[in-house]
Amino acid sequence: MNLLMNTLSMIIFALSGAIFPITRLPLVLQKVSYCIPITRSIQAARMISTGENSKAIYSLISQEFFIGVAYLLAGYFLLTSLEKSARKQASLDLY
């Protein structure tokens, strides 16, 4: 399990733009990287460190907030659904 989690976290870390700019990724992976919540925060941090336009930074931060809320709601509904399914099948320990 740890091997899977470590591998996934490194893939997310690489796709988020923390290691190198997203523009160097192929187009398909660029689209995937924008679905990762931390991507916009990293871009905003880079923009802050270079002293770029604050309006663009606020835009990235607000987009990050809404993506975080979407992930939170998706996680809540998925957990609720799995819990109901586990209770119905009397298999709570499997999840």
- Are residues 57 and 40 in contact, defined by beta-carbon separation less than 8 angstroms? no
Confidence of residue 92 (pLDDT cuts 50, 70, 90): low
Residue 73 has pLDDT above 70, yes or no: yes
Q: How far is CA 87 from CA 29, 41, 77, 82, 90, in A?
A: 38, 38, 15, 9, 5
Question: The pTM is what?
Answer: 0.74
46-67 confidence digits (pLDDT tens):
999 999 888 999 999 999 999 9
Query: Is the CB of residue 60 less than 8 Å from the CB of residue 47?
Result: yes
Helix (H/G/I), strand (E/B), else coil: 36:
coil
12 CB-near residues (< 8 Å, 6+ apart): 36, 38
- Whether the pLDDT of residue 95 is over 70: the answer is no
pLDDT of residue 93: 67
Residue percentage of the chain with pLDDT more than 70 = 96
CB-based burial of residue 4 (10 Å sphere; 0-12 exposed, 13-18 middle, 19+ buried)?
A: exposed
Query: Which has the higher per-residue pLDDT, 30 or 91?
Result: 30
Average pLDDT, whole number, for the chain?
89
